[in-house]
Amino acid sequence: MWASLITLALLACLVLWLRAWQRGSRLALGLAIGAGLALLGGLFLQSRPVFDHMPVWVPALPFAIVALTLFGFGALAWFWGED
């Protein structure tokens, strides 16, 4: 059941990406870059690390990643912005 729902969700995402690509949207380029980075990250993180003790910075890591990503998108929007 879950596999079919995931397959349908991936197909829906693919259709939306194809539609954005046909329109020449920057969204399609961003989605392609993000999907490529996610695939590379998935290749490197296939095995789950085992922590005997958790470092202090690990719980804050998702927030830092989101903040840096939003900062990067803001910088790209500044440079690529339309007048």
Where exactly are the structural domains of the chain? 2-45+55-80
Global pTM reads 0.45
How is residue 26 written in tokens? 């920057």
| Residue 69, pLDDT above cutoff 90 | yes
| Residue 49, pLDDT above cutoff 70 | no
Confidence of residue 68 (pLDDT cuts 50, 70, 90): very high
What pLDDT, on the 0 to 100 scale, is given for residue 70? 94
How far apart (Å, rounded) are the C-alpha atoms in residues 40 and 27?
Answer: 20
Are the C-beta atoms of 17 and 31 separated by less than 8 Å?
Answer: yes
